[in-house]
Amino acid sequence: MNDSVTQPNAMPKRQAAFREDFRQRIARFYSGPLHVLMIFGIGIAVIWYSVQHLNNPPWYAWLVIPVVFLVANLFEWWIHRFVMHRPIKGFNNFFMAIYTRHTLAHHQFFTDHEPTVDSNRDFRIVFFPPYALVTFILMAIPPTWILIYAGLPNMGWILMMTSVFLYLNYEFFHYSCHVKDDRLAKHIPFINTIRRHHIAHHDVHIMMEKNFNLTYPFADWLFGTSDLNRGVLGHLFNGYSTAHVKQKQRKIVGASDDPQAGVARAETSPP
Amino acid sequence: MAIAPKKIKRSSASLTGGFVVGFAVIALVLLITSQLGVWQTSTRWIVALILGGVLGTWVRIADL
């Protein structure tokens, strides 16, 4: 296993300038720990409430868990690839705001040269705002409601608690990708895999095309959007290894300080 | 001479988001206290409104 998953170069000037400007714009009353506490507090409260409604679930009710895992994994891949990295106009700028916040802010703040936070005020650009979790919970209510009123209440509540768990899983893994000290993270299965996978995604050369999963890189393997060339188990347990990174990848821009960063240009081989 | 801090206009997303979070917290507090069977209904509402109001307002002033 390699000791580092970051590029050895110093932070690009463009990134340093963006960081300085962004930090000046963080509101005075913002608190990183309160931001995280709010997300996990709401999430754990919903999970607790769902568990209270379980009543001797039959064995088949638990089959909801792998189904939700699969759907959530595909959804995470889809929204990251086709909403967070694509400027979609209309809808009262709802999708454009997501694109701006992610591609034009998160990816400028974190690159593969410097992908880590410096203080807990940087949590502002790592974690989603708490209303994203509330939106996700609202999206999980209709299928939960349908299952409950179809006479399958245990399946409904398992669906709700699994959905919220996976949202918290996403936030925790994403934070693990951007945490400064990786002495622990690099030894934990799945977390070490997603940290390398996601930091590679922050390379402006591949960010529009590769590595969209943020929990388990299953959909990236399934749809061929991973930077690795190996099987599904190899993807899930890859860790920090770069032994299977594809040698020929689509080249999108020239340099991190390129003002056209993120604009697709041509198919080329790596230098 | 010290550089004046930039005047930042809060985003409309944090306003909508503040209301969304505030209402969600109110609903959650009411559901959980009801599930636990603690407090009278009026107390539950007071706690829910205070918590929802504070957290919703924080989302707005923190410009999340």
> Above 50 in pLDDT, residue A266?
no
**A265: confidence class by pLDDT, cuts 50, 70, 90:** very low
Instruction: With cut-offs at 50, 70 and 90, classify the pLDDT of residue B3.
Output: low
**A248 pLDDT higher than 90:** no
Q: Which residues of A touch B31 (CB under 8 A)?
A: 49
Identify whether B6 is part of a domain: no
Distance between B27 CA and the closest CA of chain A, angstroms: 11
> What's the pLDDT tens digit per position in A165-208?
999 999 999 999 999 988 999 999 999 999 999 999 999 989 99
Residue in chain A nearest B23 by alpha carbon? A134
Q: How far is A93 from chain B (nearest CA, A)?
A: 11
User: Does B26 touch chain A if contact means CB atoms closer than 8 Å?
Assistant: no
Say if residue A114's pLDDT is above 80.
Answer: yes
Give me the percent of chain A exceeding a pLDDT of 70.
89
Q: What is the pLDDT at residue B10? A: 75
In a domain, B4, yes or no: no
* A42:B59 CB<8 A: no
A123: pLDDT strictly greater than 50? yes
A131 with B21: Cβ contact below 8 A: yes
Considering its fold, how many domains does chain B have in total?
A: 1
Residue B28 within any structural domain of the chain: yes
Contacts of A260 (CB under 8 A, 6+ apart): A253
pLDDT at A259: 46
Q: What confidence tens digit (pLDDT) does each residue in A205-238 have?
A: 899 999 999 999 999 999 999 999 999 999 999 9
Q: What is the mean pLDDT of residues A20-39?
A: 95
Range of weakest confidence among A142-146, A210-214, B3-7: B3-7
Say what the pTM is: 0.89
Distance from CA of B4 to the nearest CA of A (A): 11
A134/B61 CB distance under 8 A: no
Domain chopping of chain A, boundaries = 24-183
**pLDDT value at residue A267:** 38
Tell me what pLDDT residue A269 has.
37
A134:B24 CB<8 A: yes
Residue B20 covered by a domain: yes
Q: Any chain A CB within 8 A of the CB of B48?
A: no
Does the beta carbon of A54 lie under 8 angstroms from any beta carbon of chain B?
no
CA distance A121 to chain B (A): 11
Give the domain range for residue B25.
12-61
CB contact under 8 A, B21 and A137: no
How far apart (Å, rounded) are the C-alpha atoms in residues A233 and A49?
34
pLDDT of residue B33: 97
